Structure 1
Amino acid sequence: MFSICESEAPLSLQSTPQDTIWWLPRHEEKLSEKESMGRVDLVFLGDSITQAWEKEGAGVWETFYKPRHALNIGFNGDRTEHVLWRLEHGEVADIQPKLLVLLIGTNNSGHRMDKAEDTALGVKRILEVLAEKLPHTKILLLALFPRSAKPTQKLRVLNEEVNQIIQSYADDKTVFFLNINHHFLDASGRLTNNVMGDFLHPNANQYQIVAEAIEPSVQALMSTKSS
């Protein structure tokens, strides 16, 4: 656990809700959805890239995840501190999913240009909270997706620095790290707008690619019992 006092902690660790009009209502809707499901075996937790399974990736979700009793708790614009608040306010309460897929941190990099170490600390704290609240759930921690067209651009480099740190959080017992970024990039490491139109969010046709890329891990982790 962290010994940093709250006033000295980086913003990535300071649990807080987003200050937008739609955010708390979505949180309440997700609490209700979770309760109505009865059974939750798979959870996707993250930011807008995860929320987009409800729109751009909706058809793929229906095929790959709805039959697995999956819950999407991705929120547009979320940074690590917003996820921490949501976890502390019931979003994974009273469920014991087999697997949780976590993708978070690119908004720490992009909105605020947090140091990679600070973003990684936020991810680490999320993993700690998940271990407390979901002790029997396996975590598939995805590398932050590439952003910006060129591999030398600042935000691309920053996300890669985060990935270099967070991959060390995997113990291959409870937390498993997976980097699928090569699926998005060309041979020279460039990101093109037919993959991500804004060089951040995958286009609709990429959600099938994401699902296929993570499927071997999802299938394996959901079929094995936690220790």
Structure 2
Amino acid sequence: MPRLQKYAASALILASLAGCSLFRAEPLPPMQTVNAVPQSASWTKDWWEQRHAEKIQQAKSAKVDLLMLGDSITHAWETTGAATWEKFYGQRNAFNLGFSGDRTEHVLWRLQNGAVDNLVPKLTVLMIGTNNTGYRMDPAGHTAKGIEAIVAEIRTRLPESKILILGIFPRHHSPHNEMRQRNNAINRQLARLENEPRVFFLDINNAFLDEQHNLRSELMPDLLHPNEAGYEAWARAMEPAIRRLMY
């Protein structure tokens, strides 16, 4: 998908242009900025662009103190995790900018195209990258660069917001699975972003694992997405950081 490849490239080039400090030892391929939503995937027309437009409209009148940004795992706070969202965030002026299927390049495009223009959150929670692994098995360093570019974009567009980067959640039952290990490698690189002002990293993956580091299927039945109990476990594990950073 040539347009998607160009689209992915914008996430990586931003990291280098913004003067980001991590991963400079790896040379970046030639890239160019993408100015349009990629049209090669039908879901962009079916619902993705509409959701983007709706969220921009909602943001114009919303008071947002807590912003959550990510892929389907964040998106499903509106469905599977709705009861837990109301319990933990209903009184916190929370706003959900999770989009199913998103990879780092999609989040970056949304930020560059109005997603947060009317928002002034106290805290932005970001979790993205598992689809970079799942769809393309992107190298860990490339995905981490994309996330670093997103963080740089958030800092530019939401300068008063603290940023909480969540470690990418575990996937697959076994700790030896290649995708699990790829996500773990990304998380190890993301932890170093805490050196940036107002940026924090939190890994709550143990909340979803048993003593042998196997993924608990009673929390993630499909070995990727939390169920209702999984969202409760997520919220409880994240709560101390939310309290510390919001107040």
Give me the TM-score of the superposition, normalised by structure 1: 0.91
1:8 paired to 2:38:
no
Q: Which runs of 5+ in 2 are unaligned?
A: 1-14, 19-26
Contact 1:98 1:136 in 2 (8 A): yes
SS in 1 for 2:145: helix
Q: Indicate which of 30, 40, 54 corresponds to 2:55.
A: 30
Q: State the percentage of identical aligned residues.
A: 45
**Amino acid corresponding to residue 30 of structure 2 in structure 1:** E
**Amino acid corresponding to residue 172 of structure 2 in structure 1:** S
**Amino acid corresponding to residue 103 of structure 1 in structure 2:** M
Contact 2:59 2:118 in 1 (8 A): no
Q: Indicate which of 131, 136, 142 corresponds to 1:118.
A: 142
Q: Give the C-alpha shift of residue 7 in structure 1.
A: 6.6
Q: In 1, Cα distance between the equivalents of 2:36 and 2:102?
A: 10
Listed as ranges, the matches of 1:134-145 within 5 Å are: 134-145=158-169
Give me the TM-score of the superposition, normalised by structure 2: 0.84
1:149 paired to 2:163:
no
Q: Indicate which of 221, 227, 230 corresponds to 1:206.
A: 230
1:218 paired to 2:242:
yes
Query: What's 1:179 paired with?
Result: 203
Q: In 1, Cα distance between the equivalents of 2:95 and 2:166?
A: 17
Per-residue deviation, residues 59-116 of structure 1 (Å, max 9, x unmatched): 1111211211111000000000000000011111122100000000000000110000
Listed as ranges, the matches of 1:40-79 within 5 Å are: 40-79=64-103
Contact 1:99 1:138 in 2 (8 A): yes
**Amino acid corresponding to residue 80 of structure 2 in structure 1:** E
Contact 1:16 1:84 in 2 (8 A): no
Q: Give the C-alpha shift of residue 17 in structure 1.
A: 3.5
Q: Kindly tell me: are residues 56 and 177 of structure 1, through their superposed partners in 2, closer, same or farther at Cα, counting changes over 3 Å?
A: same
CA RMSD of aligned residues (A): 2.1
Q: Kindly tell me: are residues 101 and 15 of structure 1, through their superposed partners in 2, closer, same or farther at Cα, counting changes over 3 Å?
A: farther
**Amino acid corresponding to residue 2 of structure 1 in structure 2:** S
Q: Give the C-alpha shift of residue 173 in structure 1.
A: 4.1
Q: In 2, Cα distance between the equivalents of 1:211 and 1:15?
A: 36
SS in 1 for 2:228: coil
Contact 1:14 1:81 in 2 (8 A): no
Q: Indicate which of 104, 108, 113 corresponds to 1:80.
A: 104
